[in-house]
Amino acid sequence: MIFSEYDVWSFLLILGTLLFSMLIASILKNAFKFLQKSLIPVSVLGGIILLIISTVVYFATGDYLFNLPLYSPNPDTYNGMEILELITYHSLGIGFIAMGMRFSDKKFTKQRSEEIFNSGVTTVNTYLLQVFVGMIVVIVAMYVFNVSGLIEAAGVLLAFGFGQGTGQALNFGAIYEQAGLEGGANFGLTIAALGFLVACIGGVIYLNVLRRKGVIAVKEDKDMQLQDYEDTNEIPVVTSMDKFTVQIAIILTVYVISYFVMMGLSALVPSFELTLYGFNFFIGTLLTLPTKAILSALYRKKILKRKPVNNFMMNRIGGFAFDLMIVSGIAAIQLPLLANHWGILLIMAAVGAVVTFVYVYFVSKTLHREYMHEQFLAMFGMLTGTASTGIILLREMDGTFRTPASENLVYQTLPAMVFGFPLMLLAPLADDGTRQALIVLGVVVVMLVALNILLFRKQIFRRKKAVSASADESEEK
């Protein structure tokens, strides 16, 4: 191997360019007040910068920035745009595993457990709503306006792009591309990018309205305490093995195991191979549960003298993975491939934004009255961007996280995964022709009705009891 060859450096050049774009984006955001007020995440801004440069390079040279020889020395084997998709894919899995490996000693009251449960059901209901309106928009475009290059399942990507973010939008976009969706991977990535813009624009408008009404108080800075950085009796920061190295080792071990799980399941059910590998983040997150249980058991039995997992470092690793996922996902968009789909993409994003805004606002106002604005900002940000977008919006109103909204955002993941798993199974079935897509749409409607009854159970059945009691009183009179 000759270390001066591009093959040795191409991947690092791509990675360095992605990170450098975020540094430039951070400088620009600090320099211009309108960017600060926009609340646009630095990773999104960095991705947009690279997307603009890549598109300009395409029209100037005939190929995209990351497909140039500097980044793609062997285009017959792989090219730079494919490397960006790989980075997006793996960053999704690594980020979720890092988040899943965090330990918590909190014991919630019945009310707090109920609020977290409701937040998880709200997440799934919003996914279902986004799938429903997305598929309706696409079906109308296909059969009323005769838009070509689409399949009915393209509407499902609204939920993955808005609700799940860049990684899942890419995964299922690639799956649908093989089923006939023209530029499927780019279709999904573009919806995800539009989702970030919806989160930022919608969030800023909402915050400005609250400021004018005097609802938002002056933010207080939170002083970091020692317990924010580490728990009691954790491994030292530096020993024969660095503490940060331990966290990375745990995450990658879980991720490698998830690969073998996916490989084994694919061998058992070959027809679901693409779908299973699209669930890399889900399988990895599930594996964190037994991993944490094993580590806890080893610690209790004194086999491990100190706690190996550090929540603060896991948060930082997860944050890095998600930042990298977002910037690489947006940079991987190939705008010219979407020339025939811009109308449908913008309509889907607009309809998805309105529906998500109205539904999340109604749920927050009905079920989280004591902190409805904080809950709305956190959930709307997450359900159009990512959890980090939700946190960014929430900090503008609740900088010290005094309300339960931030905890709802974190702990709703488990109920959301439980109730959302059927949707994950339905998504791959929607690309098998019109009849199959309509069946999936029908199942989505049934699930949406059932889960909304579950979500508003108290309001529905309390009202029924009140009506029944009133009727009994009338009969007695």
Chain mean position to CA 471: 47
Contact yes or no for 151/180 (Cβ under 8 A): yes
pTM of the model: 0.77
Predicted pLDDT of residue 471:
57
Alpha helices in 64-109 (DSSP H): 80-100
Predicted pLDDT of residue 214:
84
Predicted pLDDT of residue 351:
96
Q: How far is CA 159 from CA 211, 293, 469, in A?
A: 30, 32, 41
Contact yes or no for 313/244 (Cβ under 8 A): yes
| Res 394 pLDDT > 80 | yes
| Res 469 pLDDT > 60 | no
Q: How confident is the model at residue 157 (pLDDT cuts 50, 70, 90)?
A: very high
Domain ranges for the chain: 8-100+116-218+324-462
Predicted pLDDT of residue 218:
46
Enumerate the β-bridge partners of residue 307. 234
For residue 129, give the nearest of 352, 392, 317 by alpha carbon. Answer: 352
Give dist(CA 379, CA 115) in Å, integer. 13
| Res 413 pLDDT > 90 | no
DSSP characters over 405-428: HHHHHHHTHHHHHHHHHHHHHHGG
Out of 271-275, 362-366, 411-415, give the one with best mean pLDDT: 362-366
More reliable by pLDDT, 5 or 190: 190
Give dist(CA 295, CA 233) in Å, integer. 14
Chain mean position to CA 418: 16
